[in-house]
Amino acid sequence: MSTKADESQHPKFNSRKVTVVYVLGGPGAGKGTQCTKIAKEFDFCHLSAGDLLRAEQNREGSQYGDLIRTCIREGTIVPMEVTIKLLEIAMSKEIESRTSGNWSNGKGRFLIDGFPRKMDQAVAFDETVCSASLVIHFTTTEDVMLQRLKERGKTSGREDDNDESIKKRFRTHIEQCMPVIQHYSKLGKLLEIDCSGSIDDVYELTSEAIGRLLS
Ligand SMILES: Nc1ncnc2c1ncn2[C@@H]1O[C@H](COP(=O)(O)OP(=O)(O)OP(=O)(O)O)[C@@H](O)[C@H]1O
Ligand SMILES: O=c1ccn([C@@H]2O[C@H](COP(=O)(O)O)[C@@H](O)[C@H]2O)c(=O)[nH]1
Ligand SMILES: [Mg+2]
């Protein structure tokens, strides 16, 4: 994978045709869980930045494998060029594969889960790939997130679902991700959803917000 930017067209996707929703929240807040449900009901493509990075980490011949592994274990943010390129490739593939279906004429809907995590990523993606229409921020306490991660860690096999990595991921969330959330709040694009309740309760609030966006 080359991270060389395509400078022929900026942004690559027109936000009037391609709807992008960023889904943010601390580690274990439930972003992936809610995105899976929304994608199914509202015909969104769900792209988890973390999942794309893990797949690239495990791809034979990837020059970024070691870098990604270290960042994930340490709870730090992978340089934006890598993550943005992975997202851009995944979006292009999805649009290409759906041109004969509901997404005709290059239209599309993307839930981008766990991205942008840092200000440089937010600015670069909005400017060069596609500007987000909405930013959902799932909020709850670290205690709730910790319990969810501990439970998930029993079976997830994720290298970062351990006490040491979780502590670092919480710190990164506060130091790097919160400024991104404040940025979108100032732009009037932020919707905060309390995710302390059950999966179904949180989904009710989330699906209402997505319904409003699409109406
Ligand atoms: N509202 C909820 N109530 C109870 N458990 C939940 C809720 N939402 C998600 N979970 C569980 O919590 C764990 C973490 O959820 P999920 O993987 O969706 O979080 P995430 O925000 O994507 O985390 P990460 O940032 O680490 O990828 C999972 O085991 C999931 O089943
Ligand atoms: O934009 C991103 C998103 C994620 N990362 C790294 O991946 C891990 C895991 O992400 P999850 O969303 O929890 O699956 C995250 O802690 C970062 O290390 C990233 O660098 N950039
Ligand atoms: Mg997740």
Q: Decide if pLDDT at 107 tops 90.
A: no
pLDDT digit string, tens, across residues 112-137:
999 999 999 999 999 999 999 999 99
State the Cα–Cα distance between residues 94 and 45, nearest whole angstrom: 8
pLDDT digit string, tens, across residues 153-199:
999 999 999 999 999 999 999 999 999 999 999 999 999 999 999 99
Determine if ligand 1 sits within 6 Å of the CB of residue 114. Answer: yes
Per-residue pLDDT at 87: 98
State the Cα–Cα distance between residues 133 and 155, nearest whole angstrom: 35
Lowest mean pLDDT among 102-106, 141-145, 147-151: 102-106
Q: Name residue 46's beta-bridge partners.
A: 111
Sign of CA dihedral 118, 121, 125, 126: positive
Per-residue pLDDT at 169: 98
Residue among 148, 150, 165 to mutate when testing ligand 1 (max atoms within 8 A of CB): 148
Query: Residue 101: pLDDT band by 50, 70, 90 thresholds?
Result: low
Residue 97 DSSP label: H
Q: Calculate mean pLDDT across residues 60-73.
A: 97
Cα 105 to middle of ligand 2, angstroms: 32
Residues in the chain: 215
What ligand 1 atom has the least distance to the C-alpha of 50?
Answer: 27
- ipTM (interface predicted TM): 0.99
CA 132 from chain centre, in angstroms, equals 11
Q: Is 28 helix (H, G, I), strand (E, B) or coil?
A: coil
Per-residue pLDDT at 8: 55
Per-residue pLDDT at 125: 98
Q: Which residues of 132-163 are buried (b: 16+ CB within 10 A; e: fewer)?
A: bbbbbbbebebebbbebbeebbeeeeeebbee
